[in-house]
């Protein structure tokens, strides 16, 4: 029988721990304010921004939401980030992605001061994490590490395969597994003999961005499978990058979608806000 890794429960545990920590810090006069910038009215982005606002309220940190119109220029956005960088009341700045097409997302993300980059996307933070220095860690991969640790799954010495090499999931995921002393292989769209490699994994993290891409023939018997993917099908039901029903019986532990990695991302954003820069 396989274990279902419960991201809802683990993310709630983390939020509760952070709530206590934030309350203790408040008593010492230390508070934190997160600035969240949303450009346009993309409904999914609005849901994410609201989730972040609610999480801040639960944990006990301030949130300021800057709602800007779809036609906001890149210069206006950079100006706002510049002001927030200078504002000593603001501890963290987050720009909700995706941005409208006329805005260069990379330029915007790089304008955020690395000291306030709670999403961990700035090259300075990415670099710091890679070389083992303190820095904000990208929230989704940090959440995967917490899911593994808090489910009693050891990473050290394990064959870890990451399927996907995006800057926000695959690459930082590989760095974090390496930091935990896993033996890490990263696969991508040019990888040859993909199934041969994924079948070597003791821990397989899937961030391929394709619904139900990973089927049972990609997975070694007894492996741990972490599904980062999130997709909504025609019936408005959520599914991941892993075909859960066919894969789960071959695993020792697996994350469901929804209720696996998804809830961890906001919990780790709260972690970055309360605990600050961490390795």
The residues of the shown chain that bind ligand NAP, judged by CB under 6 A, are 140, 163-166, 168-170, 187-191, 194, 207-210, 228-231, 241, 261-262, 265
Query: Minimal distance in Å, beta carbon 8 to ligand NAP?
Result: 13
- In the residue annotation, 52 being an active-site residue is answered as yes
Query: Minimal distance in Å, beta carbon 195 to ligand NAP?
Result: 10
Query: Minimal distance in Å, beta carbon 232 to ligand NAP?
Result: 10
Residue whose Cβ sits closest to ligand NAP: 166
Query: Minimal distance in Å, beta carbon 201 to ligand NAP?
Result: 14
DSSP letters of 134-164? -BPPPHHHHHHHHHHHHTT---TT-EEEEE-
When the beta carbons of 181 and 233 are compared against ligand NAP, the nearer one is: 233
Q: Exactly one of 6, 38, 117, 119 is catalytic; name it.
A: 119
When the beta carbons of 9 and 210 are compared against ligand NAP, the nearer one is: 210
Query: Minimal distance in Å, beta carbon 263 to ligand NAP?
Result: 8
When the beta carbons of 148 and 208 are compared against ligand NAP, the nearer one is: 208
When the beta carbons of 60 and 164 are compared against ligand NAP, the nearer one is: 164
Q: Exactly one of 52, 158, 171, 212 is catalytic; name it.
A: 52
Q: Exactly one of 38, 96, 171, 227 is catalytic; name it.
A: 96
When the beta carbons of 76 and 231 are compared against ligand NAP, the nearer one is: 231
Q: Strands 231-232 and 238-239, how do they pair? A: antiparallel
**What residues act catalytically?**
52, 96, 119
């Amino acid at each position: 029988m396989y274990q279902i890794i419960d991201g809802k429960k683990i993310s709630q545990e983390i939020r509760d721990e952070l709530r206590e920590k934030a309350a203790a810090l408040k008593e010492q006069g230390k508070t934190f304010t997160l600035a969240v910038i949303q450009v346009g009215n993309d409904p999914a982005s609005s849901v994410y921004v609201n989730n972040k606002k609610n999480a801040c309220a639960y944990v006990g940190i301030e949130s300021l939401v800057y709602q800007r119109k779809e036609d906001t220029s890149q210069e206006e956005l950079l100006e706002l980030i510049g002001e927030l960088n200078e504002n000593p009341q603001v501890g963290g700045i987050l720009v909700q992605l995706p941005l409208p097409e006329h805005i260069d997302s990379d330029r915007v993300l790089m304008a955020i001061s690395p000291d306030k980059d709670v999403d961990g996307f700035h090259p300075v933070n990415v670099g710091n994490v890679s070389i083992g220095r303190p820095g904000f860690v990208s929230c989704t991969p940090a959440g995967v590490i917490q899911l593994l640790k808090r489910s009693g799954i050891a990473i050290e010495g394990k064959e870890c395969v990451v399927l996907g090499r995006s800057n926000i999931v695959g690459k930082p995921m590989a760095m974090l597994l390496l930091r935990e002393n896993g033996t890490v292989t990263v696969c991508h769209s040019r990888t040859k003999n993909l199934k041969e490699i994924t079948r070597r994994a003791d821990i397989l993290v899937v961030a391929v961005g394709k619904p139900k891409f990973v089927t049972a023939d990609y997975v070694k018997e007894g492996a741990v499978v972490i599904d980062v993917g999130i997709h909504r099908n025609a019936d408005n039901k959520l599914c991941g990058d892993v075909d859960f029903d066919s894969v789960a019986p071959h695993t020792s532990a697996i994350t469901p979608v929804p209720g696996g990695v998804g809830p961890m991302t906001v919990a780790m954003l709260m972690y970055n806000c309360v605990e600050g820069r961490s390795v």
